[in-house]
Amino acid sequence: MGQSFEEALTSGKFLIVTSLDPPKGTDLEGIAGVIGKLKGVVNALGVYDNPRALMYMSPWAICRLVIEQGVEPIMHVTCRDRNRLALQSDLLAAASIGIKNILCVSGDHVMFGDHVDAKPVHDIDSVHLLSAAKALSEGNDMAGNPLKGSPAFCLGATANPEANPLEPQLIKVDKKIQVGASFLITQPVFNMDNLKRFVDHVKESKVKVIAGIDLLVPEEVPKYRDGSYPGLFVPENLLEEIAGADIEKCVNVAGDLIKQIKSANLCDGIHISAPGHEEKIPDILKAGGL
């Protein structure tokens, strides 16, 4: 077994991470093929938890498949769909099948998804979830009850360096670090000054920053523009560049962002999001000089 994701985080190595949508249905063939292609390409493979409030298979099942294929998973966990009992239960279940890396998120609002009449739970927020996962690692549940056997999680959180205003984000990210986040995966970044401002703020902590890179594609431009992807703030000039571009051009745009991040030595890794175009991830890395 090679270096774990947690070890890689502290190794100083530039990390490459991506995340996948679980299948909608029980057919695992497609996602198993994608996982196979990404083996050896990424340091860890994230699995989204009902991303954009669209109903998919629970991520723990896909994380198990990721492990079986010899890749280390990062399980995304959203506070939107479960209360504190269910979240803790799922965290323990995840630990029992070998999932160590947990990304704690609030979750996109249900109105973006395919079950708009669902009740948004948000019993606890992402700061609480990190705190709960930390407590489980230390042998207690949120209510302080002792556990018989406790997990050893490597905890991550999200943040948005492109947020405007940024200051409220920074206050929240400080809380996430305070309660146990050891890595941050950011929302997609486009402006290096914004990323630098964000990284400068957190650099006093030991938290590792993995910058989000999105493969922007022309067919999604209207949705990028109208806010259908919460947290994705693409500058207008880039939208114009992408509209009408072929996939190779899109890959190069993502690659250029990686080059800018790398050359400015801004952070500890990148998280590539390319839903539906995962086969392009090796090309994006190549275009980014990795």
Partner 1 sequence: MIVAKRKPFKEIKESVSGANKILILGCGTCVAVCLAGGEKEVAILASQLRMALQLENQNVHIDELTIERQCDREFIEQINTSVNVDDYDLILSTACAAGVQLLSDVFDHKVVVPGLNTTFIGVAEGPGVWTERCRACSDCVLADTGGICPVTICAKGLLNGPCGGARNGKCEVDPEKDCAWVLIYNRLEKLGRLDKMKKIHAPKRYSVQEHPATIIHEAYKHRYTV
| Of residues 160 and 182, the one with the C-beta less far from partner 1 | 160
* Contacts with 15 (C-beta within 8 Å, 6 or more apart), sequence order: 5, 8, 9, 43, 44, 208, 210, 268, 269, 270
- Contact flags string 247-276 toward partner 1, x per CB under 8 A: ------------------------------
| Of residues 188 and 288, the one with the C-beta less far from partner 1 | 188
Report d(CA 229, CA 188) in Å as an integer: 11
Q: How far is the CB of 235 from partner 1 (least distance, A)?
A: 13
Structure tokens, 129: 């979830």
Q: Which DSSP state fits 146?
A: B
Report d(CA 208, CA 271) in Å as an integer: 12
- Contact flags string 142-181 toward partner 1, x per CB under 8 A: x---------------xxx--xxx-xxx-xx-xx--xx--
141, 147 contact by CB (below 8 A): yes
102, 158 contact by CB (below 8 A): no
158, 103 contact by CB (below 8 A): yes
Q: How far is the CB of 173 from partner 1 (least distance, A)?
A: 8
Structure tokens, 77: 């966990």
Q: Binding partner 1 by CB under 8 A: which of 32, 118, 123, 245?
A: 123
Closest CA to 212 of 50, 35, 14, 18: 18
Q: How far is the CB of 286 from partner 1 (least distance, A)?
A: 29
Interface with partner 1: number of residues (CB under 8 A): 38
- Contact flags string 3-42 toward partner 1, x per CB under 8 A: ----------------------------------------
Segment 40 to 79, residues that bind partner 1, using CB under 8 A: none
Q: Binding partner 1 by CB under 8 A: which of 76, 80, 201, 280?
A: 80
* Contacts with 140 (C-beta within 8 Å, 6 or more apart), sequence order: 146, 147
| Of residues 72 and 108, the one with the C-beta less far from partner 1 | 108
The residue ranges that bind partner 1 (CB under 8 A) are 80, 84, 106-109, 111-112, 120, 122-128, 131, 142, 158-160, 163-165, 167-169, 171-172, 174-175, 178-179, 187, 227, 230-231, 233
